[in-house]
Structure 1
Amino acid sequence: MDRYGYLKTAAAIPSVRVADCAYNGERIAALVADAAGRGVEVVLFPELSVTGYTCGDLFLQPALLAAAEQALAELLRRTAELNTAFVVGLPVAVDDMLYNCAVVAAAGEVLGVVPKCHIPDYAEFYESRWFASGQGRPTVEIELCGQSVPFGPDLLFDIGGARCAVEICEDLWVPAPPSAEAAAAGAEVILNLSASPETVGKSDYVRQLVVQQSARTRAAYLYCSAGFGESSTDLVFAGHALVAENGAVLAVSERFSLGEQLVVADVDCQLLRNDRCRTTTFRHSGAGGRTTVAVTMPVADDRPFDRTVEAMPFVPAEDDRRHSRCEEILNIQATGLARRLAHTRSTKAVVGISGGLDSTLALLVTVRAFDRLGLDRQGIVGITMPGFGTTGRTYGNALTLMRGLGVTAREIPIRAACEQHFRDIGLPEDDRSTTYENAQARERTQILMDVANREGALVVGTGDLSELALGWATYNGDQMSMYGVNASVPKTLVRHIVEWYAAHCAEGSVREVLCDVAATPVSPELLPADAEGGIAQKTEELVGPYELHDFFLYRFVRQGFPPAKILFLAERAFGRRYDRATILRWMKTFFSRFFSQQFKRSAMPDGPKVGSVALSPRGDWRMPSDASAAVWLAEIDRLEKE
């Protein structure tokens, strides 16, 4: 592994000639060399890759077994100087029984031999004709290629600091796969040698199996199935390989390719360990009863990084997933609000409508909740409260949106009330300090609360997850409501939900205004407009781009990464959009504000959790309000000096 916890892995699909062990060994050696050239630390090959899976009764021929061992010995010789471990499949005879085995090797030595546990004898499979099951066998020493090596199903391999386990094809398909026990014993990477023939729809099922097993075991799962060259007498092998990590696919092969393939991916062992630590129902029992074989793999500092880093981790990149995600989030929010309305016997709700993203989403959620409850939308009291910084654009959008959605629209200006308040507290007329801004936010909240009292209504909060993370809200102002529907929706996702709603759920003037809201710069509009009447106070110019802060938030809270690793990933996710100095500047802002503003989150109102990151002090995030950010800021300072 490298210093950030990445293990570079590969699944290799070689050219195969059935029963031609010398040729197969040559092709495997060439692919191991290719993998080593790319900095791969462990490369996985298909089941019985040294002989070919489709040898049939030839497996019972001593000549084939001898040729397979000879090919392995030559393979060890040819790869002895490479800094790459590899896993190949071949038949191995032990105690007068033949086993379908995975051989794990590195630096010219066999590290261990793992027999297949579950031997299929159904449909096209007839493996028990040749092979015995390794299930339950104690680990023993056997002789292979002139070496004394451990043999057994319970072996673990420490490769470059990552704990790896092996299972073979059918082992994954049974009710209790060996990899589940291996993960409980500490294995972080599962290596599956397979030779699964293709039938219609089977590849999708295999993908689901691999992805789900990686999620259940909180592990990386490499699956590598035999490809072109295996016998097509009755079956076809398509060369299906994929790398999954904790429920997500990192890399896949091209199925039905006639050429050799090397599918490379960096798997994040630090992420897996962090996730296991935070998941209290995942507790590994240690390697008790298991033999662990370790090999050190030198890691080059300049090796390529074979992993896609999404710039917007909260927003799915694929259109179909983004569509379903937006629909589901809106339903979660609306259902949470509907339950609160039903519990309080409220038939009315009050929402402050600014013409910005957050209040727009809150209003859409409230409308859906009222529709689900069969309540009249006129019971939704939308209040626009123009002040010193309100622009014609946001003011017009707020009114158009409320009218288009059929809610009760009210306008209550705050300018006069704030000016009286400023005189009462002795604030100079030319003062534009925090007091000037916060007084407006608190005046608006007071209006919302008081109108709600008069109407017997519930105040629906509009603040989002990104604002909570940064504390970009006025304490006891817009930080407060009776139910915060956006509390776990980050700003980058709020924009996409509004755009999605415009495209799929709205029409006419509502669609037009939603598109314009999504295109409007984010601003609290607490400072006077510019000379042209436009927005003068742009949030992202003051605290930094929300796409960066959402990236930092996800990597820090969800994945538990330190600043150095977050910087490493951010530089790859954002490319040339932000240079290193800019990323570090806003990262310092993020950590400073995240720690100093915890007191606002400690007093936040109820609201529904919608994703894997939430900051409710009653649920996901428990941090003292006086915790120090010194450790994180010191690391950022060091990164700035490098």
Structure 2
Amino acid sequence: MNTRPADRLSIALAQLNPVVGDVSGNAAKLRAARATAADADLILFPELFIAGYPPEDLVLKPAFQAACRAAIEDLARETAQGGPAMIVGTPWLEDGKLYNAAALLDGGRIAGLRFKVDLPNYGVFDEKRVFAVGPMPGPMNFRGVRLGVPICEDIWGPEPAECIAETGGEILLVPNGSPYRRGVVDQRLSVAVARVKDTGLPLVYLNQNGGQDELVFEGASFVLNADASLAAQLPPFAEAVVTTHWRRKADGWHCEPGEISPLLPQDKADYSACMLGLRDYVGKNGFPGVVLGLSGGVDSALVAAIGVDALGRDRVRAVMLPYRFTSEESLKDAADVARALGIRYDVLPIESAVLGLEKSLAPLFEGLPRDVTEENLQARARGTIVMALSNKFGSMVMTTGNKSEMSTGYATLYGDMNGGFNPIKDLYKTEVFRLSALRNTWKPDGALGPGGVVIPQNVITKPPTAELRENQKDQDSLPPYDILDGILERLVEKEQPIAEIVAAGYDVAVVTRVDRMLNLAEYKRRQAAPGVKVTLRGFGRDRRYPITNRFRDSGTPLAKPDSSIVSGTPTRSEAFDF
């Protein structure tokens, strides 16, 4: 066991990227980090690290619970041989109840356990579904130092940290699994500062790194001294093992100044989250690479750029699938994108496939006018072809629909919605334009793609079009994107009533129409590929609406006590559009 004077302590922070369910792999990653920080007294790991976070209902499996416990017991025995003690997040079954726990491993044994008290049950979190509430935590004694270990959500309210302070705690060590969303870094810091001020104790905030399905954890761990000054800041969107050095002074423990890594502004953070989320989804699920339809439009161009940055050009394959409505401009732009990124690019015309489908349907469609049905046959022929490439070569299909399209249902089921993962699922169209322009002037740390202009300017500036009929433009069916996205953000992220949105200056007819499209497209979103969450409320686990739902906001101000909203049977214009 390491020995140090009672007035000094070194604590290593392991900001790592676990894999949910990979107990042995996570334990191996833990051991490697511990070896890196061999001179530290203690090494702290993120929330539920040995299981991976969030484990969802996997954590209810008795075999999984047993595997996690066995791994913790093995790791505890290893501490008898010297090296840093550890605080490791793990599920823990005790007296028939399953807890989200932090285990202190020292001297060859499990020297302490603390259970999470405040179980989040909102947004993407469902911890009350799987875990029991733990008792209020007192500090754990570690070599003469009383360490408080509130777990993640436990510091978002004052009680657990105050309980630790009142029972003699000296340092707050907070293991976290806190996913990225815009503005969350500032929120975390504000919460941590509040707990420091409440307790008068220094605080270590350790977050995990990496992608897990639709969530991305950006790390960005930090240390605050008791005066709320920032002593250390770990990098965002990267793994890191950093040792912090502490000294006991007359007024308590103080962390010596360490490296303060810069954080990223919003657009760069969003892009980095999309890149890391795609990289981990592909890598952790064992795909050799990805394939996408490259249309010449800005959405597929940005997805291709994220793909190359995440995986490297040799693991990204693009295919252009032209039909009679595909312009020469689109053909050129798609080829220019592929050339700039250095990826394999094939052109496979779909005329014979579409005409074959129309011929098969002709006996049943005879005498009926052409409409969106024939347009969607093009999208579905393309979807079938990219899925065939996936089946044959093993690459995962990336879908390329943005949040504006998925909000309004401006997408074709079993067509352009086909695929395994969508890195821009939570980006509105105006944000797609902005991030495309950004990528031409900035290359993220860790990106594997080329620098410089990777999305030709014409792709960004030309009017968006699905090219499913002659001279089609997105604005034929949708409001201008700057207006549409402003309304959607108020409807989706802020849940504002129509009356409030209209009062903010938007046209009532446009807002009502967008709200109707948003409601009717729920069934499509249920069948959409998963994708990276970056906003406050992403579609999927975060925003859950019923498909069968007749409620419609009438636009009447809610302050009127006699207001009523009555919704009848949907008209043909409100019916589902596949």
TM-score for the superposition, normalised by structure 1: 0.44
Normalised by the length of structure 2, the TM-score is 0.49
Structure (1 or 2) with the larger CA radius of gyration = 1
